[in-house]
Amino acid sequence: MQKAVKYIFAGLGLVFIDQLVKLYFFYAQNHLVSLNGGGAFSLADQFSYYQYVVIVLLIILSILIYRSQELQKHPWPIVLIYAGAVSDLIDRIRLGGVIDFINLKIWPSFNLADVMIVVGFIWLFFVGFARSKESNRD
């Protein structure tokens, strides 16, 4: 339980940092910001209940983590995914969209929360890949 508290506080810290950075760009650097009303790549523009889908997915992920010993062994990618999802969900509920401030011109604009989610999923993928490689050696 003490270990779980460490990860919860780390996740809340990441959410806090992401929210501070978004607020800075939203209020101080407004010309660099876009408010994304849809989901990833604005795919949810057609779907007005996107935030409910995110909440349901977080609940499902929570159940999977609770039941999976393997996922419990790798908490940091889960912390990143949760922190990114919660931070974007805060924006969506508070503002009706997500503050995106990173624009590479060759990719749709995004934010730190999106980076956390992607890095978390890539990390989980490699953990699963390494595990499957180890089981093939046996």
Reference 112, options 2, 14, 35, 29; nearest CA is 14
68 torsion bin: left (phi>0), alpha (psi -120 to 50), beta (else): beta
CB count within 10 Å of CB 34 equals 16
Tell me the mean pLDDT in the region 6-32. 89
Q: In this model, does residue 57 exceed pLDDT 90?
A: no
Cα distance between residue 132 and residue 119, in whole Å? 20
Question: Domain segments of the chain: what residues?
Answer: 2-133
- Dihedral over Cα of 122, 17, 101, 86: its sign: positive
Residue 46, pLDDT score: 47
Catalytic residue numbers, as ranges:
100, 114
Q: Mean pLDDT score of the chain, rounded to an integer?
A: 80
Amino acid at 4: A
- Pick from 6-10, 11-15, 27-31, 40-44: least confident: 40-44
The pTM for the full model equals 0.78
Interval 62-105: pLDDT, tens: 787 777 776 678 889 989 998 998 998 898 888 888 889 888 88
Q: In this model, does residue 49 exceed pLDDT 70?
A: no
